[in-house]
Amino acid sequence: MGGHEMTAGYRSEYRRSLEDPEGFWREAASAIDWVTPPGDRILDASRPPFFRWFPGATLNTCYNALDRHADGARATQAALVYDSPVTGSQRTFTYGALRDEVARFAGVLAGLGVRTGDRVVIYMPMVPEAVIAMLACARLGAVHSVVFGGFAAHELAVRIEDARPEVVITASCGLEGSRVIEYKPLLDAAIAETAHPPAHCIVLQRPESEAALVDGRDLDWHGAMAGATPTGCVTVEATDPLYILYTSGTTGKPKGVVRDNGGHAVALAWSMPNIYGAGPGEVFWAASDVGWVVGHSYIVYAPLLVGATTVLYEGKPVGTPDPGAYGRVISEHDVRVLFTAPTGIRAIKKEDPEGEHLRRYDLSRLRTLFLAGERLDPSTYHWASDLLGVPVIDHWWQTESGWPIVANCMGIEPLPIKAGSPTKPVPGYDVRILDEAGDECPPGVDGAVTIRLPLPPGTFTTLYHDEERFVGSYLSRYDGFYLSGDGGHFDEDGYLFIMGRVDDVINVAGHRLSTGEMEEVLAGHADVAECAVIGVHDELKGQVPVGFVVLKGTVDRAPADIAGELVALVRNQIGAVASLKRVEIVPRLPKTRSGKILRATMRSIADGKETVTPSTIDDPTILDEIRTTLGRTPA
Ligand code: COA
Ligand code: AMP
C-alpha cells in the first residue's frame, strides 16, 4: 500500500518522513480513494501551531472503509466478525452486508435530520450496531462521539452537554461477564442532567433486558431500520471532523479530541502494513472496546480501510468462560495479528500461569502480538513471548495521536526488541526528550516526552470548541513542540523508555482516568475538608487509584462509613471503570510550605520505594502518618 518499498529500512524511512513530510504523506495518500485528490499543498502550515493535512482534498471515510471493498473484489469477504461469549452468539458481516446495514442506518439518521457536521453520541456495548452507527455517521459526514459503556450517567451527561448531539444511540443493556448492565436508565439520567437534551434516542433492544422507551423521543433500532431508505456517502473536506473522542485530562472536564477525515484515513491505512504488518484479507483483532481510541482506530477504521477482517469481541480475557478465551478466538477466526493491553495478558497469566488453557488451541497462525495502553512490564513481556512464540511488540501512543507514535515497525524493518521499551519513533513523529529549560536531554536522562511540530496526519487537530485549552494543555509548555504528558528517556541506541505520566492522569487496566477528576468528586462530599487521589502500583491493573481524605473538624461519624460513601460516590459519578476501591481517612496531608499537596511523595511511599523527603516539605512527620496508614515501615 502507499507505494512504499519494503527494502527501504527503518532508518531511511524515518529520515525521509521528517526531511520531506509532504512527499512522504503524498505518497501514502495514494492508498485512499479521494473525490478531489490532494493537490500540490499537502500540509497547510499557515497558522502555527495549527497544522492541517491535505487542505482542499475531499473524500468520504465510510466509502473508503466499506463501499470501495463492497463494490470491488471484497463483496463476499468478511469485514467484521462479532464473537460474543457473553451472549453465546457469533455473526459475520461481509463487506457487502456491512455496507448495506450502514447505508440503511445512515438513512435512519438522515431521516431524523442528522446532517454533515451534526454530532451523534454513541453509548453502546461491544455489539456490531456500535460499529454500524459509527460508520453511518462517517457516511453522512456527521461527527460521532462514542462514550465508553463503563462510564456512569454523569460522565455521559458531561459529554452530551459538550458535544450537543442531535441524536444519542444506545442499547438496552451491556453484559459484563454474567452481569447485565442496564444502559438505558443511565442514558435517561444523563439526559435529565443536561441542559441540551438530544431530539432523539435510538435504542437497540437486547433480549437480555429490554428498556422502556420514551414516547416521541426514543426509537427502536430495528423498527427504525425497517422503514429506512439506504443513503449514499456524503463528500467532505479532508480537514472536516470525523469524530470527537473525550479523554481524561487533569480536571473533571474531559478533553474532546477532534480527528479529521483525510489525515486519519491516510495515517491509519499507512499504519496497517507498515507498523502492524497486516494486509488485506487478513484477520486483525484489537481486543479493546470501541469506546477507547484503540477501538476507534484498530477495531473499526484501520482494518476496514485496508480491506482486512476485524474481530469485535464481546467478552473478557478471563471468565468468559476461562483464560483460554483469547486462544479460542485466535484459532476459530484465524487471527493473524492481535492487539490488546498488557492488563489482559496479566489477567490470563494470573489465572493460568502455565498457559494450559491457551495451549489447548492452535495458535500457530498468529504472527504478532501488539500491546499498548500502559507500560508493558518485562515479566509480562517474557511470559507472553515464551508462551506464544511470536514477536510481542510494545508500542506507545495516545488518544491524541490516534495511532502509534513509538513502535517496532514490523512492515518496515523489525528491530531487535528490548524488554521495557516500545522501540523507536514511528516515521512522521519527531520525538524529543526535553528538560525543564527546553533543552534536549542526553541519552539515559529522563525528561518530558515531546514531539516536534507539525504532528503527522491522523493526530488530533484541536479540542472540540476549545482551541485555547488545546494550545494551553499541549502546545504552550515548549514552543514548537507537543507535550505528551509522559516522562521518559532515550537510551544510547535511540530506544525510548516511557516512565509514566507526569500529570494527574493514571492508567488503570489500560483505561485512562483522571485522579484530578476523582478528587473533584470526593471534595464534593459534605464531610470532606480536603483530599488527594494517587495512582499506586497494582499487579493486575498496572495502577489503581487510592484516595486520601481529611475530614472536616466538625464531623463525628464513623470514618469507615464515610469511606464507603466516598467509594460509592466515585462509582456513581464516574463509573465502575474508575476502580476506586480504597479511601483512607487521614488526619493531615503532606504539603509543601506553599501548600501544594505532595502527591508524588505519597505515590512513592505507596509503591514501597525509598523516598527522599522533599526539601520544600512543611511538616515531615506527616509522611510517617501516611506510611503507617499504608502499612509501610516509617523511615
Ligand atoms: N460497561 C460497564 N461496566 C464496565 C465496562 C463496560 N463496558 N467495562 C468495565 N466495566 C466495569 C467492570 O465490570 C468492573 O466493575 P466491578 O468493579 O463491579 O467489578 C469495573 O468496571 C472495572 O473494570 P476493569 O478495570 O476492566 O476491571 P475488571 O476486573 O472487570 O477486569 C481485566 C480486568 C484485566 C479483565 C479487564 O480490564 C480487561 O479485559 N482488560 C483487557 C484490555 C483492555 O480491554 N484494555 C482497554 C484499552 S486497550
Ligand atoms: P490513552 O490516551 O487512553 O491511549 O492513554 C495514553 C497513555 O497511556 C499514554 O500517555 C501513556 O501514559 C500510556 N501508555 C500508552 N501506551 C503505553 C506504552 N506502550 N507504554 C507505557 N505507557 C503507555
How would you classify the pairing of strands 335-340 and 283-286?
A: parallel
CA separation for the pair 14, 17 (Å, rounded): 5
Q: Are 307 and 69 in contact (CB under 8 A)?
A: yes
Give the CA distances from residue 202 to residues 148, 210, 214, in Å, rounded to whole numbers and listed in that order. 17, 13, 10
339 CA: nearest ligand 1 atom:
48
CA separation for the pair 308, 567 (Å, rounded): 43
- What is the three-class DSSP state of 84? strand
Pocket of ligand 1 (CB under 6 A): 149-150, 174, 176, 181, 288-289, 292, 294, 316-318, 340-341, 343-344, 347, 373, 508-511, 541, 576-577, 579
**Cβ(375) – ligand 2 distance below 6 Å:** yes
Give the CA distances from residue 167 to residues 104, 111, 116, 232, 424, in Å, rounded to whole numbers and listed in that order. 16, 11, 13, 20, 42
**Cβ(372) – ligand 2 distance below 6 Å:** yes
Q: What pLDDT is recorded for position 609?
A: 83
CA separation for the pair 103, 437 (Å, rounded): 53
- What is the three-class DSSP state of 47? strand
- Ligand 1 centroid, distance to 509 Cα (angstroms): 7
Residue among 441, 412, 439 at smallest CA distance from 425: 412
Report helix angle 262-274 to 21-28, nearest 10. Answer: 80
What is the model's pTM? 0.96
Q: What pLDDT is recorded for position 450?
A: 98
**Cβ(17) – ligand 2 distance below 6 Å:** no
Fold of 4-315+395-427: Rossmann fold (3.40.50)
C-alpha cell read off for 183: 444502559
Residue nearest to atom 9 of ligand 2 (CA): 398
Q: What pLDDT is recorded for position 630?
A: 85
- What is the three-class DSSP state of 604? helix
The number of the ligand nearest the C-alpha atom of 373 reads 2
Residue nearest to atom 20 of ligand 2 (CA): 375
Choosing from 170, 312, 346, 577 the residue with most ligand 1 atoms within 8 A of its CB, the one to mutate for a pocket test is 577
CA separation for the pair 532, 542 (Å, rounded): 19
CA separation for the pair 79, 98 (Å, rounded): 7
For the chain of 635 residues, list the mean pLDDT of each consecutive stretch of 10: 58 98 98 98 97 98 98 98 98 98 98 98 98 99 97 96 98 95 98 97 98 97 97 98 94 92 98 98 98 98 99 98 98 98 97 97 98 96 97 98 98 97 98 98 98 98 97 98 98 97 92 94 96 95 96 95 97 96 96 91 86 86 89 74
Report helix angle 128-140 to 95-111, nearest 10. Answer: 60
**Cβ(289) – ligand 2 distance below 6 Å:** no
The domains of the chain are located at 4-315+395-427, 509-630
The CATH homologous superfamily to which domain 509-630 belongs is ANL, C-terminal domain (3.30.300.30)
